[in-house]
Structure 1
Amino acid sequence: MALLGLEMTNQMYTLPENQEFPNSFFPIHNRFEDCHQSHIMFDLIASPVDHCFLQRIGRQIAINFAEQGDLVLWDVDSAGNKETAQLVRKFGVNVWTYTCDVSNRQKVYTLAQRVKDEAGTVTILVNNAGIVSGSYFLDLSDEKIMKTMGVNTMAHFWTLRAFLPDMIKNNQGHVVTVSSLVGEGGIGGMSDYSASKCAVKGLHESILRELHMYRSNVKCTVVCPYTVNTGMFNGISVKYQFLLPFITPEYVGKKVVQAVLTDTDTLYLPPYIFIAVFLMHSLPTNVQLAIENFLNANEAMKSFVGKR
């Protein structure tokens, strides 16, 4: 039942921004062909307060991956999960849906075994769950901090421990970690969110190096997007936003799939944002702060009204 009709090689292809994959780009033979069943597994979201994030980024990634193979969808919101399943079934693929709070370690392990028994081998794992509190550090409660870290960070550990061993055993697979641009450095009003995204970026880099050390053919991709127009960050106010407008979920979904197909290990969205990241890390802290003050970056979350 391996429906992933694509050949994933170690060679990276650089595609123009608007170029689509031609229908004949990937031959029917694929590197997952030795698996009895190959599926793409998403943990879409782990908290009902962030349902909008599911509806936009997670759903768009699932829709784009539906053109490549069968899907397993995890979500704490069963109704939203079923809606996503209905959309992706239009592509003629098999879809399994499960309700799960991925911050709960035991629930993840229990459900992972069900997935293996009912759906088969998970070939691509997409860790996409995320929430944001939108509070400055002194306004954060212990509960908010623990919830953010549980959903945004610890869930990655639990799903990786559940599914990565089989990928390594089969010497094939791909792990997608959705981080954030603020995972490259802190920003005011996002101490818990930024810390959680920095953590998963570091987790990705460590796992990638361990896989390389063991000469494994399992691949890893970390996605570091700028603010996505999902409603998750409604109300934030940054000066000169026209210079760097919000990106769309459709754009993110398309680019994530392209990154997996080309074995890209780090994906910045939009790609040119990497230049800003590099320059900021190269500058003294006082210069960084001056630039952030000019852009009102550390004050932006004061007007935050997104899903809390």
Structure 2
Amino acid sequence: MLEGTKIKTPSQVSSIFDIAKDTVLFLLLSCYYILESLFWTLVPNALRPMKSLKGDVVLVTGGGGGVGRQLAVKLARIGAKVVVWDINEDALRNTCSALRDEGYEVASYAVDLADRDAVYKTAERVKKEIGKVDVLINNAGVVFGETLLELNDKAIETTYKVNILSHYWTVKAFLPDMIETEKGHIVTVGSVAGLLGTYRCTDYSATKFATVGFHESLFTELRAHGHSTIHATLVCPSYINTGMFDGVTPRLVPMLEPDYVAETMIDSIRKNEVNCIMPGSVRYLLPLKCLLPSKMCWDLMHRVMKGPQSMMELKRKPQAA
């Protein structure tokens, strides 16, 4: 009988002791983590351990063009079994033709990531026809480049469905197999616009902010449940020269080339990095957003970086009907 049993609660002295003990342990481990990070930052990739992706099934969404196509080509060249998803069938054929011309096999699926049922059905096809996905790269994204009042409702919904909601459907489809085999890697492609709000991107920036939260929460869940062999990497590049931000002329941060972004992403995956920000210099500007007065941040963005002015030159994209 438990009715008369008193539940013993930790004494205040015991709680203070536990907090002090955990804090000291944290500080000691922090020294190690900082030194480890500095060490691996200084060691060239050629001299550090990098996991092999040879033979792994790697699925790339939005693989028909831009960074996605570069990822597919580079992954195939290092021996990965590449699976490409894209809504554009012509772009899919071009990517597959380029890979087959080099002698590589590639599987391609035309799928609308804005359609949840289509994502789940295509995921089942991949598992039956190709096998378990080892690395999932949620790369697909859309941008319309309008101010809030100029965006139509359908465009806003499409941006959310493609840029963030599809991540839920793909991860839910492929993560259980990764957990079962205790091997996997999920790559969430966000953006610097998901770390700093951007002019004419109320829809795009918001979805990319959501990808950051999605990645951090997913990483927490995996670690809390002991799935340390399943890795998660968040990739946040600045403007990429793929046509998505055609017309934008950044003042201080150079436009990134798709080849460089894809190469950096693959290196980050092979190093099991948790965060990958491009260019690296942006990493040092981000803390200023929280540390500096808001008016000072605005002047830095408006007068020095001229972020809003550069986005005013973005060529508008056709909005969803």
Q: What band does the TM-score fall into relative to the shorter chain?
A: 0.7 to 0.9
TM-score by length of 2: 0.80
Q: Is the 2:67–2:242 contact (alpha carbons within 8 Å) kept by the matching residues of 1?
A: yes
Q: Is the 1:40–1:71 contact (alpha carbons within 8 Å) kept by the matching residues of 2?
A: yes
Q: In the alignment, which residue of structure 2 is the partner of 1:56?
A: 66
What is the deviation of 1:299? 3.4
SS of equivalent to 1:72? strand
1:153 aligns with 2:164: yes
Q: Is the 2:237–2:279 contact (alpha carbons within 8 Å) kept by the matching residues of 1?
A: yes
Measured against aligned partners, the alpha-carbon deviations of 1:46-100 in whole angstroms (never above 9, x if no partner) come to xxxxxxxx42211111122111310111111112112112223456543111000
Mean Cα deviation higher: 89-98 or 61-70: 89-98
Q: In the alignment, which residue of structure 1 is the partner of 2:59?
A: 41
Counterparts of 2:102 and 2:218, CA distance in 1: 32
Which residue identity does 1:112 align to in structure 2? A
1:219 aligns with 2:231: yes
For the aligned residue pairs, the C-alpha RMSD in angstroms reads 2.4
What is the deviation of 1:211? 0.3
* Counterpart mapping for 1:118-137 below 5 A: 118-137=129-148
Q: Is the 2:50–2:271 contact (alpha carbons within 8 Å) kept by the matching residues of 1?
A: no
Which structure: larger Rg?
A: 2
1:266 aligns with 2:278: no
Which residue identity does 1:276 align to in structure 2? L
Consecutive unaligned residues of structure 2, counting only runs of 5 or more, are 1-35
1:194 aligns with 2:205: yes
Q: In the alignment, which residue of structure 2 is the partner of 1:276?
A: 285
Q: In the alignment, which residue of structure 1 is the partner of 2:312?
A: 302
Consecutive unaligned residues of structure 1, counting only runs of 5 or more, are 1-10, 46-53
Counterparts of 1:278 and 1:262, CA distance in 2: 25
Which residue identity does 1:293 align to in structure 2? H
Stretches of 4+ aligned residues off by more than 6 angstroms: none
Q: In the alignment, which residue of structure 2 is the partner of 1:247?
A: 256
Q: How many residues align?
A: 279
* Counterpart mapping for 1:1-20 below 5 A: 14=40
Counterparts of 2:124 and 2:212, CA distance in 1: 26
What is the deviation of 1:150? 0.8
Counterparts of 2:49 and 2:293, CA distance in 1: 45
Which residue identity does 2:307 align to in structure 1? A
What is the deviation of 1:38? 3.8
SS of equivalent to 2:112? coil
Identify the structure with the greater helix proportion: 2
Which residue identity does 1:102 align to in structure 2? L
Measured against aligned partners, the alpha-carbon deviations of 1:167-210 in whole angstroms (never above 9, x if no partner) come to 11111100111100010121221100000100011101100010
Change (3 A) 1:264 1:97: same
**Identical pairs, percent:** 32
Which residue identity does 1:187 align to in structure 2? T
SS of equivalent to 2:60? strand
SS of equivalent to 1:227? coil
Counterparts of 1:258 and 1:163, CA distance in 2: 22
Counterparts of 1:213 and 1:283, CA distance in 2: 34
Q: In the alignment, which residue of structure 1 is the partner of 2:126?
A: 115
Which residue identity does 1:269 align to in structure 2? M
SS of equivalent to 1:122? coil
Counterparts of 2:142 and 2:211, CA distance in 1: 14
Q: In the alignment, which residue of structure 2 is the partner of 1:6?
A: none
SS of equivalent to 1:303? coil
Mean Cα deviation higher: 117-126 or 161-170: 161-170
What is the deviation of 1:20? 6.1
